[in-house]
Amino acid sequence: MDRPQQDEDRVRDSVHAAFLRIPTAAAAGRDRRRAEAAGVADPAAVGGDRPVSTWRSLRLKDLCIDAGQYGLNVSAETYSHSGVRLLRTTDISSGTLTPEDSGVFIDSAPEGRFTLDTGDLLLSRSGTPPGQSYLVRSADAGMTFAGYLVRFRPRPDTDPRFLAYVARSTPFQHTIQAEAVSSTIQNFNAERYANIRFEAPELAQQRRIADFLDAETARIGQIERLASRAGQLALDRRTAVIDAELGSVPDSHVVPVTRTCAVVLDCVNKTAPLATENTPYRMIRTSNVRMGRVDAENTYRVTEDIFRQWNRRGAPQVGDLLFTRQAPVGEAGILTSNAPVFLGQQVMLYRPNRQRITSEFLLYNFLSSFMKEQFMRASDGAAHTHMRVHDCLKLRVYCPSVEEQYSIADRVRQALQHSDTLRVATKRQVALLAERRQAVITAAVTGQFDVTTASGRNVTEGIAV
């Protein structure tokens, strides 16, 4: 049996089957994004309209003990390596708390109003987008929070989990986005949050909804982790294929990358001013270089004058390899677009000397473990890793004859087709699961179906899947 068929059989086994059962057809209903997604309960398929009398139109502050508390205004110079952890917008931007080793601290405990309690709800008033939220856990109690976060403390007759799910719901997020568009992000303040209006039931029903969503989002999260793991395995196989082929090349063919390139260029070491209107002139940022490709479409635009200034030392060409030396270190991709582009900050350009090395073979060098080890040594394990230009010039690559490069590249390309297809599929499945989570949360907290769940019961009882 060939390797692609083995991989296909593997992802169809019982361990992986759950996250593969994701439909492609959209289902009817306002928040019913996908039917039967990975066996997760379909909110629109549940009968039982909510009892209207038990739901009231309220503002966020009506369910909290106050109208919101801003965090501490402290400068980065006052941060310490230990003490009380200071939560920032970047610490909660994924909806979960970043690990402690990536956090910052202040020396002494702040006054009581800045100290977090279990069940507090943090909302960001800055960021992209604003409206990130985090429900404080018991393990987080005693921490404090920074000025671009607003703390809301639920009243005793409000379930904090219900309030946190409301903050993640589509209507709540749409309100934030609409308000943020009409003003500056910094002006999306505690008062605006406090006056966001939504409907809420009595405490007992809030608890039932929160119990249901705790169970359902946990199920989605478990499937999500399986899908992400499958995607990582596909990525690992990709690296292993490249390593195996490069490993067959004798060490005598390892040379400095500068000996294989006609041109090596670093970016202009400052941020280009952006155009106020759409133009054809595009900035390639580090985020545009991923997984061997360069995205020349989703880019910032500049004026023709800025474009010419930033390309005064030379303009990128089709076939150039672009490399990120920070944020993050080590992404590489081949430029395939003829669009007028220039290098954003922390992006370097390697133009292959085609008599020495092909673009594709140079890319496989940059995607190999051999090269990643060099990145790690050059970045020296710093907290915010980056590579200096002179280190980028010292990189070494495998460079056999051009004929052998073509032969190796053909074998790698064929071997990667299946793993790349699997990686793209699992990435799409993770996106569908995130969409599904959002739909379930929104349907539950807006009363679109009857949540009949309690501790110990099967939360999907009576739900069509």
* Per-residue pLDDT reduced to its tens digit, 297-352: 999 999 999 999 999 999 999 999 999 998 789 999 999 999 999 999 999 999 99
Tell me how far the alpha carbon of residue 228 is from its chain's centroid.
12
Query: Per-residue pLDDT tens for 397-452?
Result: 999 999 999 999 999 999 988 888 888 999 999 999 999 999 999 999 999 888 87
CB 135 within 8 A of CB 217: no
Q: CA-to-CA distance for 360 and 353, rounded, in angstroms? A: 12
Residue 309: Cβ within 10 Å count: 13
Q: What is the pLDDT of residue 31?
A: 40
What three-state secondary structure class fits 252? helix
Consecutive H or E run containing 336? none
- pLDDT surpassing 50 at residue 91: yes
Query: Per-residue pLDDT tens for 59-81?
Result: 999 999 999 999 998 888 888 88
- pLDDT surpassing 90 at residue 138: yes
Q: Is the domain defined by 253-399 classed in CATH 3.90.220.20?
A: yes
Query: Per-residue pLDDT tens for 93-102?
Result: 767 898 888 8
Q: What is the pLDDT of residue 351?
A: 98
Q: What is the pLDDT of residue 35?
A: 34
- Per-residue CA distances from 421 to 14, 145, 416, 418, 424 (Å): 20, 43, 8, 5, 5
CB 302 within 8 A of CB 376: no
Query: Per-residue pLDDT tens for 94-126?
Result: 678 988 888 899 988 888 899 999 999 999 987
Identify which of 395, 377, 396 has the alpha carbon closest to the alpha carbon of residue 385: 377
The mean pLDDT of the chain is: 84
Q: What is the pLDDT of residue 461?
A: 41
What three-state secondary structure class fits 75? coil
Query: What's phi and psi for 336, nearest 5 deg?
Result: -115, -5
DSSP strands (E only) in 250-407:
254-256, 261-266, 281-284, 289-290, 292-294, 300-302, 321-325, 329-334, 341-343, 347-352, 396-398
Q: CA-to-CA distance for 240 and 246, rounded, in angstroms? A: 10
Identify which of 344, 300, 261, 238 has the alpha carbon closest to the alpha carbon of residue 7: 238
- Please, what is the Cα angle at 153 between 187 and 443, to 5 degrees? 80
Q: Is the domain defined by 57-200 classed in CATH 3.90.220.20?
A: yes
Identify which of 22, 35, 27, 63 has the alpha carbon closest to the alpha carbon of residue 445: 63
Average pLDDT over residues 29-41: 40
Tokens of 161: 């989990």
Query: What's phi and psi for 332, nearest 5 deg?
Result: -145, 150
Q: CA-to-CA distance for 428 and 383, rounded, in angstroms? A: 31
Per DSSP bridges, beta strands 300-302 and 347-352 are unpaired
Identify which of 103, 112, 36, 32 has the alpha carbon closest to the alpha carbon of residue 69: 112
Identify which of 139, 142, 157 has the alpha carbon closest to the alpha carbon of residue 56: 157
- pLDDT surpassing 90 at residue 151: yes
- Per-residue CA distances from 62 to 112, 130, 158, 168 (Å): 22, 22, 10, 18
- Per-residue CA distances from 360 to 21, 284, 343 (Å): 35, 20, 20
Tokens of 376: 């790690």
Q: What is the pLDDT of residue 450?
A: 84
